[in-house]
Structures are given as C-alpha cells and as structure tokens.
Chains A and B, each alone.
Chain A
C-alpha cells in the first residue's frame, strides 16, 4: 500500500486545512491591492500595513509548521503501518475522525444562509416567519398548528422587543413586502 493510498481519508482532515490557510494568506498578501497602496505610506519602521502583514506572515509560518508536523505524523504512521500492519493507526484517530457531518447539518446551514440573504428582500418579518416554519419542518416537527403558532407568536414577540423596545431599524424588504410590513407594524402599534 502506498503512502497516499493509506492516508487518503486522513489527508483531507489533517493536511487540507493547513494547505487552505497557506494558500489563502499567500493570496491575501499578494493579491490585496490596498496593502500595496498602503505600504507606500509607511513612515519609520511601522506603517499601516505593518500589522496585517506581520499577521499574514505569522499565519503562513504557523500553517506551514502545522502542515509539517502533520506530514511527520503521517509518515511515522506509514512507517509503523509498514512494520506492523495489524496495529491500529494513531494518526487515523485524529485525521479520519475529521469527516464531514450529517447531511441535515449542511441543509440547516444552507437554510440559515438563505434566511440571512432573504432578509433584505422579504424583510425581517416575512423571512423570519418562513425561516421558523422551515427550520421546524427540518427538525422533524410536523404539526401545522404548532408550526403556525410558534412562527407567528415568536415573530411578533421579536418585533415587539427589537422594533418597539430596542428601536432597531429592522429591514422591511422590497416593494410589496415593505408595504405589508409597514401595515403590520401599524396594526401591532409598533410605530
């Protein structure tokens, strides 16, 4: 068995994050145009880019050190596996357990993202009503009365706390959503 065949799964969990960080910081350091512009303003030994630059280099250095220690771990593990194929692999315990999560978690994350991006379009009120209902369905709650009550009452309480008491200018959405939200606000004496 080759090194790559043995560590196919482990590589993803152990090496990918450090490689990703190295690539991102290199990209940020050399692609960010504003760092170049700001570098011309430096007076003395420290200028506006001294701090972000130092941090990016430190990230690169630590990510490279992390990558190196992981590679050493994997090669020692590989050597040990060659000698004693039956012995359980130690690197596997850290790397392979770092496998992806439940599909429901990723769907949940996608719903949260969609909720956030819908707020400026539908407004806080409509997107929250919709979000609570969808989230409850995803969580396995199927009773329509419960879903309707929780989403309507929950949204109303949140509107009272944040619009009426905390005076937060929550997004009202675009076009018709803005008008309907305003009408609901008036009906609930929020404004």
Chain B
C-alpha cells in the first residue's frame, strides 16, 4: 500500500508540466540519437549532462530517464529500416526486422517493435517499482564469475541463431572475439595483436565493425541490385498490424520481457546480452523458429521487448546499491552525484519522493515512447521512398560519420571501410556476419570478467562451476546448446537412415 501511495506521489511529480515537457524532449532526443548510427543515445545522455546543472535533481533524472528509454528503442528504427543497428542492442532487430522492410512491411515491423519495446519497458518499470529491494539483494550476490557466466550464455546463444551451420557460426564468433581482443589488455596494460600500429592500441570498436559489416556491404549490394528509380523494399505497403496480430505476439513479448528483466539486473550484462539471448530462446521456442531471419514477427518482438525490459531492471542495482550496470546508468549515477544525491539503500528512506518519481517517469516515458517512436519512425519510413542510389549515398556518409564519431578518429573510418569490403566478401562466400559482430561486442566483456575472476580467486578455474549461480548459468548454457543441437542432429541422422540425404553433405 505504501508503495502505491509513493508511486502516486511520483506520478504527480512526473506529470508536473516542466518535468513532463523535459521528459518528452528527452524521449525525442533519445529516439533520434538512437536511430542515427554513430550518435548513440549514451553520447546524447553525456551531452545532455551539463544541461542538468540548470535543473533540480528530480527534473534532471526525469529528463535523462526520457533519453534512456527513448534511446534504447530508437536504435531499432535504423536496424529495421536500413539494416544499421543504431545501438549494439538493436543488432537482433536487423535479423528479422530488415527482411520485413525488404518485403515492403516497414510500418508493420516498426509498429511491432514499438509495441514490444513499450511492453518490455513498462513491465520493467513496474518491476523496478515493486521489486527493487529484494532483487537488489539478489544482484548483490553476483560477482565476476557470474558476470562471466552471463556473458558466456549470451555468446553460446549464437548456436540457436545459426544451428544449421554450427562450425561456421562458431568460427565467425571466434573471429569476432579475436578482433575484440586487439589492443591494450585492461589488466596488464600490454598491447596485443597491434603490430606496432599506435591507433590499434585502443582496440577495434564494435560500432565500427558493425557499421562496416552491415551498412556498407548492404549499400553496395543495393547499388548492384536495384535501378535508381526503385524504392528499397519494392512498393511500400503501409500496413499496420491489427490489435489481434499484436496480441498474438504476447508470448514472444512476454518471454523477451522476462529475460530482459532478469538480465538487466545483472550489472554489465545489459541490453545487448538480453536482446541476443531473447532472440535465441525465441527461435527455439517459436513454432516458426526455422524461418527466423526471414522476417518473422516473433523474432522481432522478443529481442525488442527484452532490450527495453533491461532499462528499468538496470536501474535496480543503480538505485539500491549505487552500481551502474551500463554506460547509460553510469551517466545517471554521475547526474545524481553532481546533484549531491548518493544512490544506495538509504536513498529509499531519505529521498523517497525522488526514487518514486524516477519509477513513475520511467513508466510514463515508456507509454509516451509509443508516440515519440511512431513520429520518428514515420519520418524515417519516408526515407524508403527515396531512390536507393541517393539513399545509399547518405547511408555511406552516415556510416562514415558514425565510425568517425566513435572516437573522433579517422583510423576508425579506415577500419570501418575495410570491414565494409570484408562484409561484402563474407556475403559472397556465405560466411555469417552476425556471430562475428556478437563476438566483437561480447568478447572483450567475457575476457575482462574471465581475467578478473581468475585474479580475484587465485587463478582457480573451477570457480566458474563451483559458485552456485555461476555454475547454474553455465549449466543452463550447456543445456541451451543441447536443446538447440539435439533436434538438428536427430533430424540429420533420421534423414541419413532413410537414405534421403547425406548428413555430411548437409553439415
């Protein structure tokens, strides 16, 4: 009851005209920044941080919360429309969202994405409101081995994405992880695989790889395939899904939300791991799992819901323990500290009003996000009417700017261009790109957690299996691999027995 009273106070604060206005501005900034490759919403939050000096602590948090909620969704707009993930967490949205755009169903894909994202966001805001303290205690039991196990689960979920070609998929993943290990080692400070090139010491950023592999290779292919008068997805069908069709995705959105909430609470795992695992699980669970990657609605709804479900969940360790689980929550922590607010268990008793205003504003932001998302998506959707040659030219320029904007360094542009060529070659030889990108994103995280676990636990490798939570997550990862592969192997053996096909030829 006390929670509901506090929440109603929070709602009143959230609907204060100034707070509401700034939340809407934040949402618009977040959605646009997320949708533009290269200007991540985290950058937008960092740029907005100085402006919060002019605001009260409460208004500042509402404003930043708006950018956060909008930005996490915004990345999906460019994923779905032009196959460039605006944020790393939007990567799975390319896999089924972009094929829908290619079929001329961009509006339908965007509506599904917005609805699923809002569902995930609202559910996690409610979880934050009613379950923050007990979940914070649970999150406190997590240490480096558990973070490693969670990241490892994210990595092995790739098996569900490309189980028909496990060897090549794992090869692609390991190539990505090797690329992710280029640069100065975070524990020892020694360069690895840099060949004496100073610019490589900072490592190869995943955004640069992602833009090169997905955007550039797609644009040049578009140039070769389409005449300049045609739109990207053929004739556009502005077909909105009916409520019945959206309701049919409740299972996918629900599973995505549940996974996103669980993974979001783990500091460091974040939206990317959540979205990838949700996609993998959905592919396994869905009756249309085999069609995933061709524009299946469930394959879009599940990662979208998971991605936004991590937003509220990631605030739990921040508000209750003062541990930021992601770059975005780290900026929110910085804003709190700038305003003299110290997050931690005491915050719930000393600043109850503020805490519940944050909860309420996240709820409201996720509801308003539907409107902001529709408006921005409509603007982006009209891009599809532009002749592909002109659209392609601007995608190349945005990609180059996106790569440059990562560190304001021209070297990143060169790396991006090299990956653009590689991306096209990989398409020709049918080498999967998605596992490679996942390896570049999650590889460095896995390495850091692995190394710090060993350093903290006397180089004892058994620590990953003997700690209950870490061991359980690793066991779940093993079960997941079996769950994905056993039916495939059985089917191949059955075919071989029946003499219909050769298992090796299909490998």
1/0 per residue, CB under 8 A from A, across B18-38: the answer is 000000000000000000000
* Contact-residue size bin, chain B (C-beta under 8 Å from the other chain): 35 or more
Which among A62, A136, A158 is the interface contact of B170 at CB below 8 angstroms? Answer: A62
- Among the 9-residue stretches B244-252, B282-290, B313-321, B416-424, the one with 4 or more Cβ atoms under 8 Å from chain A is B416-424
Which among B193, B225, B429 is the interface contact of A28 at CB below 8 angstroms? Answer: B193
Residues of B within 8 A of A48 (CB): 185, 187-188, 190, 192
Which among B39, B410, B416, B421 is the interface contact of A166 at CB below 8 angstroms? Answer: B39
Cα separation A132 to B430 with both chains bound (whole Å) = 30
* Contact-residue size bin, chain A (C-beta under 8 Å from the other chain): 35 or more
Residue in B closest to A16 when the chains form the complex, CB atoms: B429
Residue in B closest to A112 when the chains form the complex, CB atoms: B396
Cα separation A104 to B224 with both chains bound (whole Å) = 6
Residues B408 and A169 in contact, CB atoms below 8 Å apart:
yes
- Among the 9-residue stretches A1-9, A50-58, A177-185, the one with 4 or more Cβ atoms under 8 Å from chain B is A50-58
Cα separation A76 to B387 with both chains bound (whole Å) = 47
Residues A99 and B191 in contact, CB atoms below 8 Å apart:
no
B485 within 8 A of A: no
A168 within 8 A of B: yes
Cα separation A27 to B461 with both chains bound (whole Å) = 29
Residues of A within 8 A of B458 (CB): 44
Cα separation A91 to B224 with both chains bound (whole Å) = 26
Interface of B is mostly: helix
1/0 per residue, CB under 8 A from B, across A147-191: the answer is 000100010001000100011111100000000000000000000
Within 8 A of A (CB), among B433-454: 443, 447, 450-451, 454
Residue in B closest to A170 when the chains form the complex, CB atoms: B404
Which among A35, A76, A100 is the interface contact of B193 at CB below 8 angstroms? Answer: A35
Residues of A within 8 A of B219 (CB): 108, 112
Residues of A within 8 A of B389 (CB): 135-136, 138-141
- Among the 9-residue stretches B93-101, B174-182, B374-382, the one with 4 or more Cβ atoms under 8 Å from chain A is B174-182
B interface residues (Cβ-Cβ under 8 A, vs A): 39, 47, 167-168, 170-171, 174-175, 177-178, 181-182, 185, 187-188, 190-196, 216, 219-221, 223-225, 227-228, 387-390, 392-394, 396-397, 400-401, 404-405, 408, 410, 413-414, 416-417, 420-421, 424, 428-431, 443, 447, 450-451, 454, 458-459, 461, 502, 504-505, 507
- Could you pull out 27 A-B pairs where Cβ atoms are within 8 angstroms? A16-B429, A32-B192, A32-B194, A38-B185, A38-B188, A41-B190, A46-B454, A51-B450, A52-B182, A98-B429, A100-B428, A102-B225, A105-B220, A108-B224, A112-B417, A128-B397, A132-B393, A135-B389, A135-B392, A139-B393, A141-B389, A166-B39, A166-B47, A166-B405, A167-B47, A168-B405, A168-B408
